[in-house]
Amino acid sequence: MSEIIALCNQKGGVGKTTCALNIAAGLERMGEKVLLIDLDPQAHLTYSLGIPAHELQRTVLDLFKGTHGLTDTLLAVEGLAVVPSSLDLAGLDMELAGTPGREFILRESLSQADGFAYILIDCPPSLGILTLNALTAAREIYIPLQTEFLALKGMSKLIETIDTVKRRLNRDLEITGIIGTRYDARRKLNKGIMETIGERFGDKLFKTIIRENISLAEAPGYGQTIFRYAPKSHGAEDFLALAGEIVARKRPAPAPETGGLSA
């Protein structure tokens, strides 16, 4: 069964798309088969892979309209399977208004996904119907948090939304990962915020912290993941470590060795 993970935070600029893209690329480098879904109408993940969202004939919008299935919308880029976004997603809330079961459209589409170890969903920076579909389809949520003072502001609303979805639509949904992003060890404030995040979320906070790195900001402009653009950068190092941590969480702990003589 695929691990379906939604990356969401209604606050923009926290590195959500950067995390979705480069976690997927890191997992692929570790031999995992990964599907990426861009649910953001801004199509930043799509453009970050060098895919011209404004020219595509088939996108994630087709899944919601029912005009094409999942396999018809897949693109292969840098070893990843990608369902690209559409700029027309911005009007989806109005188009689906009154549609029965509109929260389950993505979940039903993902029932066609076969052979993927991980499915990562890049959510828009809002709590509308697109994010609601992601939360209904996913089992896990990763929340990228910028290591600055305002990072935790607004989290209560996101957690409230997640709790509502869990009660009404998807009882298997859990927040399983908090990712500290844009970290600068030279700033005392960053260290203090990380301590606060750790106190609040405990072992849900990944040990790997994504450091501030210019290569991470530059790579999307070249339509490349960090591993292709700057494979020796801190960004590549951090995301490979984070991917390793994610894989390690999924592997069962080895059985303890038994000592002594057998009877």
What gap in Å lies between CA 65 and CA 50, rounded to an integer? 25
The residue that leads in pLDDT, 238 or 184, is: 238
**187 inside domain:** yes
pLDDT for 253 equals 55
The residue that leads in pLDDT, 99 or 185, is: 99
Maximum pairwise Cα distance, the chain: 71
Beta bridge mates, 52: none
**110 inside domain:** yes
Domain that holds residue 213: 3-250
**261 inside domain:** no
How many other C-beta atoms are found inside a 10 Å radius of the C-beta of residue 191?
14
- In 3D, which of 47, 45, 48, 70 has the Cα closest to residue 59? 70
Average pLDDT over residues 244-255: 80
Angle at 139 between CA 193 and CA 155, to 5 degrees: 30
**262 inside domain:** no
Tally of domains in the chain: 1
**162 inside domain:** yes
The CATH number of the domain where 172 resides is what? 3.40.50.300
- Per-residue model confidence as pLDDT tens digits over 150-164: 777 778 888 999 999
Going by pLDDT thresholds of 50, 70 and 90, the confidence category of residue 103 is very high
**257 inside domain:** no
Residue 209 has pLDDT above 70, yes or no: yes
**260 inside domain:** no
**255 inside domain:** no
What gap in Å lies between CA 107 and CA 209, rounded to an integer? 31
Q: Where are the alpha helices (DSSP H) in 96-233?
A: 105-110, 129-137, 155-168, 188-201, 214-218, 226-229
